[in-house]
Amino acid sequence: MLYSRREILLVLAAAGVCRAQELGGMASRGVKPQPRGKPSGLPFHARFTDIAARAGLRHPVIYGPPDRMDYILESMGCGVAFLDYDNDGWLDIFLLSGTRREGPVEGATNRLYKNNRDGTFTDVTQAAGLLRQGWACGVTVADYNNDGFEDLFITAWPQNILYRNNGDGTFTDVTQAAGLLHLGNRWGTGCTWVDYDRDGRLDLFVSNYLVFDFDKIPPTGKDPRCNFKGVPVNCGPRGLVPERPMLYHNNGDGTFTDVTERSGIGAVTPGFGLTAVAADLDSDGWQEIYVACDSTPSMLFHNRGDGTFAERGMQSGLAVNEDGNEQAGMGVAIGDFDTDGRLGVLKTHFCEDTVALYRNVGRLDFDDVTVRSGLGVETRYVSWGNGIVDLDNDGLPDLFWVTGSVFPEVEQKHPEFAHKTPRVLFRNLGGGRFEELLDAAGPAIAEPHTSRGVAFGDFDNDGDIDILIMNINEPPSLLRNDLVGGAHWLKVKLVGTRSNLSAVGAVVIAAYGGRRQAQAVLAASGYLSCGDKRLHFGLGEASTVDLEIAWPSGSREQLKGVRADQLVTVKEGAGIIRQERFGA
Amino acid sequence: MIRTVAASLLLVAGACLAHTQQSSVEAHFGRGTQLMQDHLYEAAANEFEEALALDPAEPRARFQYAVCLITLGRNDDARSQFEQVRKQTGDSRYVTYYLGRLDLLASDFPSAIKKLASLAQDPPFPDTPFYLGVAYISAGDLRAGTKWLERAARLTPRDYRVHYRLARAYSSAGREQDADREYALYSQFQNEHKNTEDAARACTEALRTQPQSAAREVCYRMFDPNDPEKLTLLGQLLGDGGAYTLALDPLQRAVGLDPNSFAAWHDLGLTYFRLQRYADARAPLEKAVALRPAFYGSVVLLGGTLYMLGDDDAALPVLERALRLNPSDAETAAVVEKLRAAHAKK
């Protein structure tokens, strides 16, 4: 229920300073959850089990002290990635890591795990040359130099890092050589590869959160204004200085040029930028860049097609919620949840607020359909990495996100604001409605953690989507999807020729069973994370599917009657070049 | 002296409602109303439920209960309660308004439009055209939606939600210039809203930590001679901080600009009362009680004021009414008893 302005003023006046400080530095609206309707009673065929320990993912992801979050940097956590760094057709895992202010922590490093193709992974971090301790935040994965191997760009405080994949199982830090070292300290957060000028080379977009300095920001308890529900907590983001995002143009020779100003990206009012995602949201063949901003209006950079962008967040409806209130944007998922052939958006926020689900109505115009979709029932958790993914292969993309508090101190006084909280899964009922599944999708959904990044991908190549999750100061979770029911599916791997080799920015529309579902090849999504670039379509009962592919170069391709239950590799201009049946 | 003590007791009673349970419909209703005023909707709903348990045919309690339920997000329950009120009392603009909003929340846009449009000539609340506009746009009728949002912008020109929705509507219609104008207004009023929140926080802090003269400077950063809501807030903050004399000017300006502002009249009366200027307190409190007859805080203050002025004949029925709204108020009960005794002696 929204208060009128007068009522808000009265509340403020009545409650005085206590009420005014109640929400700390985060945008939250005190939203009460909508009532839950009667359960649909429909079976959900996906069931998730956390097999991380069994799979060999046992190292905790260090991020700040084990029991406190004195600084906002310690509370924000980091992303994760599914990638295939050795091109063996099996998804490997890359986990970012933080550290502790007090000093280096043994074993706290970004980690690369190679997929052993038997449900387990081997830590190859050292051999790959990726050992590194620091405050890593986001990751974007793609082949920026078109040499056939996926590279890694990592945002971090105080300096970002570019790792080139050498193609022999090792990586080289080429940040300086690429011209990506920046002066001074900066807190890079969201990042995504994007071929914004369609020259076939992946450029790089980086969002920055805020100006951070351990010595200049008061820690928890040292500033009475930094307070949540009457409990002293870490300060920010409100009250701290927001930063602008940056855009780097790929020169094609291994170096990049800062085009932030020239492209118009630098003209934006600074905001507390977090996850950045690039996708062609208006279907004009040029990729937009959307940035979830924390407690400031989120930004949508409309690609004008001439090397410049115009910030159109407000005009598109993606900056704020339907009543014009800014929200604490954390994670962004892009997907076609209403199977109308257009890419919609799911953005996660703080507790006592809903997530935001935006329906794409065309011409870069989005409707906030959060409440009417049934998502208003869940407002309990601080929400982070997310996805619009068909978890049960019924042909209707579901919604998933992870949660976890940023204020561990609060739960002692207010147990309802727990530090560790469960995952959230809304199954798609069709007709624009969703239903939250509290315990119908396996024990791993209800398990409480303080989670941040999430990546989606089929790590065991069994035709369904599994989930990789970053948990602060715990080992990650790897949720294996044990799907039953026999619904059909199709995976599509794209290889660019005129386009960038990773085909980042391509959009595939799959037509099946009377539906048209769009998916984009993304180099980043969720919260500061990156998922499987093989597009996965659940098909329900449909056994064939027609595909329309819009390549980032501008070329288009159609494939009719593609059989279900396989991975097809499509090369730009050459059609299907490979078909694989998993397990065969 | 006795009167002074009694007045102080009444003031305390007016400021903080005792929570001792008393079982009468009027008592629960009064407590519920007070709790709603304090935005304690869950507790208020409990009070109205108690009232309805005693008298299920009490439509006022059922109506307020339903309003609480909407605020608590219990939309289906709220609908059922409003329907019962309608059965008991016949059609009412207020019930239709809330049922229309419930239809909107349930995405039943045709029904929302039907209900809210029926109120268009004589809207029960100023935001009726806003919700009607939203319903039309949600139903896909951009033209009608825009028309009603434009009307909403005229009725509530400082509501940033209206300007945001209107800007989005113009954008969708390709009216970019109009959209840009509305985005600018949205931005202006939303910034004002945020600035007001920040200023209120700073003012409260200054009143707590600095001498009044220094705090005044901080607080007057939010002074806007043309905005009655901001003026009322400024007066409330100054009053809450003990700067009663300073609070008078903004509150007087507020009632001048918006004579229908219950909050401004109540706070002006309260401030005069706190300054023991009872003759000056009377008219604002009478106005406040006229605007919100069931608000215990205003009623008891008015009764106390009349009592302090020595107008016992006028004070008695007002204090009796206050006591019906809050029978657990022992201090008021004592004064009432005394006045009744004196009246009987005459």
Residue-wise pLDDT for B9-49, tens only, equals 344 334 433 334 456 888 898 888 878 877 788 899 999 99
Chain B residues near residue A2 by CB distance under 8 angstroms: 161
Are A324 and B72 in contact (CB < 8 Å)?
no
Instruction: Read off the pLDDT band of A164 (50, 70, 90).
Output: very high
Are B190 and A324 in contact (CB < 8 Å)?
yes
Alpha carbon separation from A188 to A181, A210, A329 (Å, rounded): 12, 9, 16
Chain A residues near residue B71 by CB distance under 8 angstroms: 1, 32
Q: Which of A67-76, A227-236, B83-92 has the highest mean pLDDT?
A: A67-76
Average pLDDT, integer, range B301-305: 94
Find residues 338-367 of chain A whose CB sits inside 8 Å of chain B: 365
Say how far apart CA A33 and CA B32 lie, in whole Å. 22
Average pLDDT, integer, range A196-205: 98
- Sign of CA pseudo-dihedral A132, A137, A141, A146: negative
Chain A residues near residue B74 by CB distance under 8 angstroms: 35
**Cis amide bond preceding A237, omega within 30:** yes
Please report the pLDDT score of residue A29 as a whole number: 56
Instruction: Read off the pLDDT band of A3 (50, 70, 90).
Output: very low
Chain B residues near residue A6 by CB distance under 8 angstroms: 229, 263
Are B229 and A34 in contact (CB < 8 Å)?
no
Chain B residues near residue A322 by CB distance under 8 angstroms: 165
**Cis amide bond preceding A297, omega within 30:** no
Q: Residue A324 is nearest to which of B76, B160, B179, comparing CB atoms?
A: B160
Q: Amino acid identity, residue B106?
A: A
In eight-state DSSP terms, residue A33 is P
Average pLDDT, integer, range B64-78: 88
Task: Provide the number of CB pairs (under 8 Å) joining chain A to chain B.
Answer: 89
Say how far apart CA B49 and CA B65 lie, in whole Å. 7
- Sign of CA pseudo-dihedral B312, B318, B322, B328: positive
* pLDDT of A187 strictly over 80: yes
Token reading at A332: 């962004």
Are B233 and A11 in contact (CB < 8 Å)?
no
Q: A95-112, pLDDT tens digit by residue?
A: 999 999 998 899 999 999
Report percent pLDDT > 90 for chain B. Answer: 60
- Side by side, which strands form the sheet with A151-157? A135-142, A151-157, A161-165, A171-173
Contact A391, A425 (CB under 8 A): yes
Contact A215, A196 (CB under 8 A): no
* pLDDT of A13 strictly over 70: no
Are B201 and A20 in contact (CB < 8 Å)?
yes
Q: Which residue has the tokens 């407000």?
A: A314
Are A1 and B158 in contact (CB < 8 Å)?
no
- What angle in degrees, to the nearest 10, is found between the helix axes of B109-117 and B128-138? 150
Q: A515-550, pLDDT tens digit by residue?
A: 999 999 999 999 999 999 999 999 999 999 999 999
Please report the pLDDT score of residue B23 as a whole number: 66
Chain B residues near residue A34 by CB distance under 8 angstroms: 73, 75, 105
Q: Residue A365 is nearest to which of B72, B138, B172, comparing CB atoms?
A: B172
* pLDDT of B328 strictly over 80: no
Q: Are strands A566-571 and A488-495 parallel, antiparallel or unpaired?
A: parallel
Instruction: Read off the pLDDT band of A26 (50, 70, 90).
Output: low
Taking CA atoms, what residue in B is nearest to A3?
B71
Least confident of A168-172, A353-357, B73-77, B96-100: B73-77
Instruction: Read off the pLDDT band of A148 (50, 70, 90).
Output: very high
Q: Is the Cβ of A17 closer than 8 Å to some Cβ of chain B?
A: yes
More confident residue, A444 or B200: A444
Please report the pLDDT score of residue A11 as a whole number: 28
The C-alpha of B323 sits at a distance from chain A's nearest C-alpha, in angstroms, of 23
* pLDDT of B261 strictly over 50: yes
Say how far apart CA B340 and CA B331 lie, in whole Å. 14
Taking CA atoms, what residue in A is nearest to B264?
A10
Alpha helix (H) ranges present in A129-197?
none
Please report the pLDDT score of residue B22 as a whole number: 53
Say how far apart CA A451 and CA A527 lie, in whole Å. 10
**Cis amide bond preceding A39, omega within 30:** no
Average pLDDT, integer, range A267-272: 97
- Closest by Cα among A244, A258, A180, A247 to A210: A244
Q: Is the Cβ of A577 closer than 8 Å to some Cβ of chain B?
A: no
Instruction: Read off the pLDDT band of A584 (50, 70, 90).
Output: low
* pLDDT of A407 strictly over 80: yes
Q: Which of A82-91, B23-32, B184-193 has the highest mean pLDDT?
A: A82-91
Say how far apart CA B98 and CA B93 lie, in whole Å. 9
Q: Residue B107 is nearest to which of A7, A32, A372, comparing CB atoms?
A: A372
Please report the pLDDT score of residue A28 as a whole number: 57
Q: Is the Cβ of A310 closer than 8 Å to some Cβ of chain B?
A: no
More confident residue, A14 or A493: A493
Report percent pLDDT > 90 for chain A. Answer: 87
Q: B111-130, pLDDT tens digit by residue?
A: 999 999 999 888 888 899 99
Please report the pLDDT score of residue B9 as a whole number: 39
- Classified as helix, coil or strand, A569 is strand
Cα separation of the two ends of chain B: 23
Q: Residue A35 is nearest to which of B75, B127, B183, comparing CB atoms?
A: B75
Q: How many CA atoms lie within 13 A of B88 on its CB side?
A: 16
Instruction: Read off the pLDDT band of A120 (50, 70, 90).
Output: very high
Least confident of A138-142, A164-168, A237-241: A237-241
Q: Is the Cβ of A411 closer than 8 Å to some Cβ of chain B?
A: no
Say how far apart CA A166 and CA A529 lie, in whole Å. 22
Least confident of A89-103, A341-355, B143-157, B223-237: B223-237
Say how far apart CA B246 and CA B231 lie, in whole Å. 12
Say how far apart CA A136 and CA A173 lie, in whole Å. 14
Are B161 and A17 in contact (CB < 8 Å)?
no
Taking CA atoms, what residue in B is nearest to A9?
B233
Taking CA atoms, what residue in B is nearest to A317?
B168
Are A324 and B163 in contact (CB < 8 Å)?
yes
Least confident of A136-150, A244-258, B328-342: B328-342
The C-alpha of B226 sits at a distance from chain A's nearest C-alpha, in angstroms, of 15
Q: Residue A11 is nearest to which of B39, B75, B205, comparing CB atoms?
A: B39
Are A4 and B165 in contact (CB < 8 Å)?
no
The C-alpha of A17 sits at a distance from chain B's nearest C-alpha, in angstroms, of 6
Q: Is the Cβ of A323 closer than 8 Å to some Cβ of chain B?
A: yes
